[in-house]
Structure 1
């Protein structure tokens, strides 16, 4: 009873098989809750890829993370036993099928430099603020201390 569909209106990614569908994330978490008697769930790999020249201002990845984390928080409000969430991947890494062509990382790795420096993308800063704040502070309550950048 399984089928795979992709609507053309869903935002694409750097991977031919991966479309951004945040609403489906909450739905699958709730399905797991109902189908398997609400087991503890840890999301250990959630992210979106890019191709082409490295882009440090990865606003599409920020959109992805904001949307998916928000859907995960909604699932928690639905009483899904979601205990952890981590992004895939911290650094651009080697993908088995495509090598270094698809980049999932929130840090760019400059492979042309022998020191292999890791350069944070905008999404790394966004994700760090989500972790530091344990979610999204309510802007209606004014500036939250967790949004202050560490010195």
Structure 2
């Protein structure tokens, strides 16, 4: 079974004989403030329509690490920016993380990870395990508190468990 679409499909783009590589995660800066600015722009220039944010998440290299601290920081930053925009009158109605669990991405196959849950592709039962980000997000939803990563890790050391 191919692990990526690239294993079965050849994709290139070019301009004047200059091959352009496919994008990867490090090509995109992480800028949570951009979400707040975009929501405020929509409010000011388009009559504040209802907005649902789909597929917001951080791409990381696929590995067996369940300690995805960078994803926690990414999600916390974006949710903080979303809440700031809502407090300023944005009509944002929904926010959906990409994704619940690692999945097959069209161009990257299983090389990248977006999920809150890790899937062991070498296990015949495809065992799933929550990453640190899953625990943090569960804590956020239950407590309605954007605890910092350090604060969350401190609560874990004092016996908090979101399972």
- Scaled to the shorter chain, the TM-score interval is 0.7 to 0.9
Calculate the TM-score normalised by the size of structure 1. 0.78
- Conservation of the 8 A alpha-carbon contact between 2:25 and 2:60: yes
85, 91, 113: which is aligned to 2:123? Answer: 113
Deviations 1:44-65 (A, max 9, x none): 2110011152320010000001
- Conservation of the 8 A alpha-carbon contact between 1:18 and 1:48: no
Deviations 1:8-31 (A, max 9, x none): xxxxxx624432111111011111
Higher Cα radius of gyration? 2
Matching residue of 2:104: 94
1:40/1:98 Cα in 2 relative to 1: closer, same or farther (>3 Å)?
same
Matching residue of 1:70: 80
Q: Secondary structure of the equivalent of 1:83?
A: strand
Pick which of 45-54 and 103-112 moved more: 45-54
- Conservation of the 8 A alpha-carbon contact between 2:62 and 2:110: no
Larger strand proportion of the pair: 2
Deviations 1:95-137 (A, max 9, x none): 1111111110010000111111110000001011111123437
Calculate the TM-score normalised by the size of structure 2. 0.73
Pick which of 44-53 and 88-97 moved more: 44-53
Q: CA RMSD in A?
A: 2.3
Partners of 1:109 and 1:62 in 2: how far apart? 18
16, 32, 37: which is aligned to 2:47? Answer: 37
Matching residue of 1:25: 35
